[in-house]
């Protein structure tokens, strides 16, 4: 046994490509499955959410304009970076959740593979979901899926890494930017994943990750007037009604999903139809 | 040279003889017309003549309609193959075509829109919607990514007064094609064509209870929205009511589509074909008296052509023929209701009060009925109410811009996002602008075009979902993976 003292990591938020502490100065304690202290992650506030939305809004236009090829490659790059740091993620999942090593390894494997799967959707969306509409007149008429804007999401408590990726990947692949609240009890995977994002050519502000309490942050996400959509897959069903009521103020698109599917991507895209006359 | 010769239009009234309006109507529930308990009058807004008495559905009638729809769903409609379901829709499309003139006359009398529009736009498009969706009924497995082939069950549908039969078709055709049954409520002031449509369902031998029509006001609509026996709500109307509905269904399992308000920008770039753009501006805001959620109600002109466009626009507006909607030469008909006329007057008055300049086309208003002459406001800023709020009448707000990006920014400066127009002769500019505009329907060098194959619906506070095309159909099928 070495007598070396560990250099422990301070877990912070991930906003606009940087790692700030919460402006509120608040933290909360997380312990291992065995009850041993691990870290004091940030307890994000409403103001942190506002800052994250400002960053997400500022980043949206240029992320949306990136070519589908480019966006696909960046998602694939996230998968590459995650693959290279498998061991760290496995260790963190085991430490925090008490999962077996093999179960944690499977979650990391699934996470990498899920990113690759969503990456491949990038340049297929408009050919599979768009349309050339045969209108009864001399008009060229087509429908294309377009990004919706800034989307908020609540990641599920478990699986903390795969659930986070399932929240982020389908939302950003179509050109949206995101503010996501990580698992409250197991936020380590999320904050380490932010380091993966920071080294994956993802432009600042495209993905913003908060840690904190769902009951505190979700209602602010629901009522924020500059958030266009909200993925509440990670919220308990009993709170969905109140969240949808708050979200009605700007007719936010609010959905909840149980599985990975292309509907999850399309839910946060808008269909735009363009008409133009045909003639000499 | 003498002065140019001008010809007066002789009256060319369409005949009312093709229709007969009953003095009183009930509801259409379980395949039969049933008497109503309370009634309210429906009038011809062009003359204020009382056309008939319409029944006001309360809880008992809505319950009966939902029950009939559920029974039809469980015992008949959900068990029938898509191939057979589709045949009923084809029949309905054909009967609408056969009885098109009746529907057009009735629509114009009850709504106040020019017969030229009801005859050439509303009714043919309604028939086309049924024909298009009929073909979907046995092809639901191809309806797209992220949808199942399973319907929701019973759909409650609430429609507005601006395109009464057409909105009915937009709602009922996809619902039935996907395998749902329907309880539909037409708008309070325009129920007659929906009740005539009930006769079409009978002629088509549509199984009893597949389509149920209850008439009434907002209170009837609320009963439908809040009914526990309904699985899917589809609403077209104001954003204000849309938000009330969104809150009402929030804690329930109901799926919702909303087609709401708009404040569409019609952007004229300096390189536009001006004469064509003038026609597009007029069509954009004065079609259907401006009672169009996607109306081009904000004209956004590049500054260096503004003077020329406004001069030509005023000249063109002076030629708009306003008056008897039954006259085949009429361009602009009556405002649908006194309530709507007061709203248009109030918002226009706010334009005067906030310092905008009003110009109204010279035309005589008929003595009876509800009328508002085509009007434009200039000298507007983006904070003016008439630049932000939906007027839903023949009133155009004019703004200007210098750079293309400024034009786009002004166009997008609204919580709405239903439609937008672009006028330019440069292809790359049109595609650039159409990508920048945050709206669900973009008309480039045209405006106010509709087709059953073409998805229609808005971004942001203009609603949820699309109507028309494969995208519209999917709103009537369950989502895959939704909780």
B19 occurs within a structural domain: no
DSSP string, B271-336: TS-HHHHHHHHHHHHHGGGG--TT---EEEEEHHHHHHHHHHHHHHHTT--BS-TTBTT-SB---S
- What is the DSSP code (8-state) at residue A212? S
Q: pLDDT tens, A254-264?
A: 999 988 888 89
Same domain flag for B435 and B474: no
**Given A245, A263, A276, which is nearest B481 (Cβ)?**
A263
Q: pLDDT tens, A15-42?
A: 999 999 999 999 999 999 889 999 999 9
Same domain flag for B331 and B187: no
Q: What is the CATH number of the domain that holds B108?
A: 3.40.605.10
Q: Write down the H helix ranges in A101-148.
A: 101-121, 125-129
Q: pLDDT tens, B227-236?
A: 999 999 999 9
Q: How confident is the model at residue B2 (pLDDT cuts 50, 70, 90)?
A: low
Interface-testing mutation among A239, A269, A273, A276, with chain B (most B C-beta atoms within 10 A):
A273
Question: Using CB atoms and an 8 Å cut-off, which of residues 230-249 of chain A contact chain B?
Answer: 233, 237, 240-242, 244-245, 247-249
Yes or no, beta carbons of A275 and B442 under 8 Å apart: yes
Q: Does A250 touch chain B (CB under 8 A)?
A: yes
Which residues of B are part of the catalytic machinery? Answer: 259, 293
d(CA B194, CA A142): 31
B284 occurs within a structural domain: yes
> Among residues of chain A, what percentage have pLDDT more than 70?
100
pLDDT at B390: 97
Domain of B240 in residue numbering reads as 27-260+461-479
Please compute the mean of the pLDDT values over residues A195-200 and round it to a whole number: 97
Same domain flag for B199 and B277: no
Is a pLDDT exceeding 80 seen at residue B146?
no
Which residue in B has a C-alpha nearest to residue A239's C-alpha?
A: B251
- Tokens 């239903």, residue? B418
Q: pLDDT tens, B50-66?
A: 999 999 999 999 999 99
Same domain flag for B285 and B298: yes
Please compute the mean of the pLDDT values over residues B133-159 and round it to a whole number: 92
Please compute the mean of the pLDDT values over residues B304-314 and round it to a whole number: 98
pLDDT at B9: 87
Yes or no, beta carbons of B483 and A256 under 8 Å apart: yes
CB atoms within 10 A of CB B472: 27
Same domain flag for B354 and B233: no
Is a pLDDT exceeding 70 seen at residue B1?
no
Yes or no, beta carbons of A253 and B464 under 8 Å apart: yes
Same domain flag for B141 and B78: yes
CA distance B57 to chain A (A): 27
Same domain flag for B349 and B416: yes
d(CA B316, CA B275): 10
- Name every chain A residue with its beta carbon within 8 A of the beta carbon of B455: 131, 133, 143, 271, 273
CA distance A114 to chain B (A): 16
Please compute the mean of the pLDDT values over residues B57-77 and round it to a whole number: 98
Q: How confident is the model at residue B345 (pLDDT cuts 50, 70, 90)?
A: very high
> How many Cβ contacts (< 8 angstroms) between chains A and B?
136
Which residue in A has a C-alpha nearest to residue B479's C-alpha?
A: A263
| CATH numbers and ranges of domains, chain A | 30-277 (3.40.605.10)
Q: pLDDT tens, B10-41?
A: 999 999 999 999 999 999 999 999 999 999 99
d(CA A47, CA A28): 17
Interface-testing mutation among B454, B464, B470, with chain A (most A C-beta atoms within 10 A):
B454
**Given B247, B252, B449, which is nearest A139 (Cβ)?**
B449
A142: β partners? A132, A274
Torsion of CA B240, B244, B250, B255, to 10 degrees: -70
CA distance B442 to chain A (A): 5
> Among residues of chain A, what percentage have pLDDT more than 90?
95
Q: Confirm if B332 and B289 have CB atoms less than 8 A apart.
A: yes
- The phi, psi pair for B342, rounded to 5°, reads -65, -35
Is a pLDDT exceeding 90 seen at residue B154?
yes
- The 10 Å CB-count burial string (b at 16+, else e) for B91-121 is bbbbbbbebbbbbbbbbbbbbbbbbbbbbeb
pLDDT at A259: 86
Please compute the mean of the pLDDT values over residues A61-67 and round it to a whole number: 97
- What is the DSSP code (8-state) at residue B118? I
pLDDT at B5: 77
Q: What is the CATH number of the domain that holds B383?
A: 3.40.309.10
Is a pLDDT exceeding 70 seen at residue A240?
yes
d(CA B88, CA B206): 6
Same domain flag for B33 and B152: yes
Same domain flag for B143 and B207: yes
CA distance A134 to chain B (A): 6
- Name every chain A residue with its beta carbon within 8 A of the beta carbon of B246: 244, 247-248, 251
B145 occurs within a structural domain: yes
DSSP string, chain A: ---PPP-PPPP--BBTTB-PPPTT--B--EE-TTS-EEE--B---HHHHHHHHHHHHHHHHHHHHS-HHHHHHHHHHHHHHHHHTHHHHHHHHHHHH---HHHHHHHHHHHHHHHHHHHHHTTTHHHHH-EE---SSSEEEEEEEEE-SEEEEE--SSSHHHHHHHHHHHHHTTT-EEEEEPPSS--HHHHHHHHHHHTTTPPTTSEEEE-S-HHHHHHHHHH-TT--EEE-TTS-GGGHHHHHHHHGGGT-EEE-BSS--HHHHHTTEEEEEEEEE---
**Given B243, B461, B469, which is nearest A131 (Cβ)?**
B469
* ipTM of the prediction: 0.96
Same domain flag for B86 and B117: yes
B474 occurs within a structural domain: yes
- Tokens 């003498």, residue? B2
Is a pLDDT exceeding 90 seen at residue B362?
yes
Which residue in B has a C-alpha nearest to residue A235's C-alpha?
A: B483
Same domain flag for B159 and B302: no
Domain count, chain B: 2
- Quick one: tokens of A94? 């085991």
Yes or no, beta carbons of B455 and A131 under 8 Å apart: yes
d(CA B153, CA B230): 8
Yes or no, beta carbons of A135 and B451 under 8 Å apart: yes
Interface-testing mutation among A229, A272, A280, with chain B (most B C-beta atoms within 10 A):
A272
Q: pLDDT tens, B183-207?
A: 999 999 999 999 999 999 999 999 9
Average pLDDT score, chain B = 96
**Given A242, A255, A273, which is nearest B482 (Cβ)?**
A255
pLDDT at B25: 98
pLDDT at A33: 84
Q: How confident is the model at residue B480 (pLDDT cuts 50, 70, 90)?
A: low
Please compute the mean of the pLDDT values over residues B401-412 and round it to a whole number: 98
**Given B415, B441, B454, which is nearest A135 (Cβ)?**
B454
pLDDT at B483: 45
Same domain flag for B332 and B359: yes
Please compute the mean of the pLDDT values over residues A165-190 and round it to a whole number: 97
Please compute the mean of the pLDDT values over residues B287-303 and round it to a whole number: 97
B320 occurs within a structural domain: yes
């Amino acid at each position: 046994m070495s007598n070396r003292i560990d250099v422990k990591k301070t877990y912070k938020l991930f906003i606009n490509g940087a790692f700030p502490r919460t402006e509120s100065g608040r933290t909360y304690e997380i312990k291992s499955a065995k009850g041993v202290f691990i870290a004091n992650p940030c307890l994000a506030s409403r103001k942190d959410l506002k800052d994250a939305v400002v960053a997400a809004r500022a980043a949206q236009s240029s992320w949306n304009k990136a070519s589908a090829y480019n966006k696909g490659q960046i998602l694939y790059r996230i998968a590459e970076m995650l693959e290279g740091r498998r061991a760290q993620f496995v260790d963190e999942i085991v430490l925090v959740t008490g999962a077996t090593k093999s179960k944690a390894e499977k979650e990391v494997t699934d996470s990498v593979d899920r990113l690759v799967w969503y990456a491949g959707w990038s340049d297929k969306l408009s050919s599979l979901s768009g349309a050339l509409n045969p209108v009864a007149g001399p008009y060229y008429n087509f429908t294309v899926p377009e990004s919706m804007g800034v989307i908020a999401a609540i990641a599920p408590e478990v699986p903390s890494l795969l659930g986070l990726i399932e929240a982020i990947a389908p939302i950003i692949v179509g050109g949206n930017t995101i503010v996501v609240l990580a698992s409250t009890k197991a936020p380590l995977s999320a904050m380490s994943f932010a380091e993966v994002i920071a080294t994956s050519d993802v432009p600042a502000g495209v993905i913003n990750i908060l840690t904190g309490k769902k009951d505190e942050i979700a209602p602010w996400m629901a009522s924020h007037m500059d958030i266009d959509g909200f993925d509440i897959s990670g919220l308990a069903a009993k709170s969905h009604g109140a969240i949808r009521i708050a979200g009605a103020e700007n007719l936010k698109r609010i959905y909840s999903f149980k599985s990975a599917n292309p509907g999850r991507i399309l839910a946060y895209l808008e269909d735009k139809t363009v008409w133009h006359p045909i003639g000499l | 040279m003498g002065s140019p010769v001008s010809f007066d239009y002789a009256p060319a009234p369409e005949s009312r003889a093709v229709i007969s309006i009953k003095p009183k109507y009930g509801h259409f529930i379980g395949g039969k017309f049933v008497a109503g308990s309370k009634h309210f009058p429906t009038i011809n807004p062009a003359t204020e003549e009382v056309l008939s008495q319409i029944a006001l559905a309360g809880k008992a009638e809505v319950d009966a309609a939902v029950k009939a729809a559920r029974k039809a769903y469980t015992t008949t409609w959900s068990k029938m193959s898509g191939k057979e379901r589709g045949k009923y829709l084809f029949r309905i499309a054909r009967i609408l075509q056969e009885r098109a003139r009746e529907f057009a006359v009735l629509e114009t009398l009850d709504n106040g829109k020019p017969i030229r529009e009801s005859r050439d736009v509303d009714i043919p498009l309604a028939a086309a919607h049924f024909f298009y969706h009929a073909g979907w009924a046995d092809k639901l497995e191809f309806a797209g990514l992220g949808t199942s082939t399973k319907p929701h069950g019973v759909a409650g549908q609430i429609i507005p007064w601006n395109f009464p039969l057409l909105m009915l078709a937009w709602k009922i055709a996809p619902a039935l094609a996907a395998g749902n049954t329907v309880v539909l409520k037409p708008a309070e002031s325009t129920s007659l064509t929906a009740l005539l449509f009930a006769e079409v369902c009978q002629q088509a031998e549509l199984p009893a209870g597949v389509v149920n029509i209850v008439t009434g006001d907002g209170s009837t609509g609320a009963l439908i929205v809040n009914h526990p026996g309904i699985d899917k709500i589809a609403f077209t109307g104001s954003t204000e009511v849309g938000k009330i509905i969104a809150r009402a269904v929030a804690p329930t399992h109901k799926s919702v589509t909303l087609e709401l308000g708009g404040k569409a920008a019609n952007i004229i770039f300096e390189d536009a074909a001006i004469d064509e753009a003038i026609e597009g501006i007029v069509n954009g805001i004065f079609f259907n008296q401006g009672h169009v959620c996607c109306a081009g109600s904000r004209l956004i002109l590049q500054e260096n052509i503004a003077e020329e466009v406004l001069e030509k626009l005023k000249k063109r507006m002076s030629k708009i023929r306003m008056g008897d909607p039954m006259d085949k030469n009429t361009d602009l008909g009556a405002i649908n209701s006194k309530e709507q006329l007061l709203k248009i007057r109030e918002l226009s008055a706010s334009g005067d009060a906030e310092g905008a300049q009003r110009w109204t086309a010279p035309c005589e208003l008929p003595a009876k009925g509800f009328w508002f002459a085509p009007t434009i406001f200039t000298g507007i800023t983006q904070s003016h109410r008439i630049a932000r709020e939906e007027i839903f009448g023949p009133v155009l707000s004019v703004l200007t811009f210098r750079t293309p990006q400024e034009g786009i920014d002004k166009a997008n400066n609204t919580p709405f996002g239903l439609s937008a127009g672009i006028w330019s002769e440069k292809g790359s500019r049109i595609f650039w602008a159409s990508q920048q505009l945050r709206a669900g329907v973009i008309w480039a060098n045209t405006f106010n075009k509709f087709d059953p194959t073409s998805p229609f619906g808005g971004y942001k506070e203009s609603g949820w979902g699309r109507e028309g095309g494969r995208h519209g159909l999917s709103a009537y099928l369950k989502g895959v993976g939704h909780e």
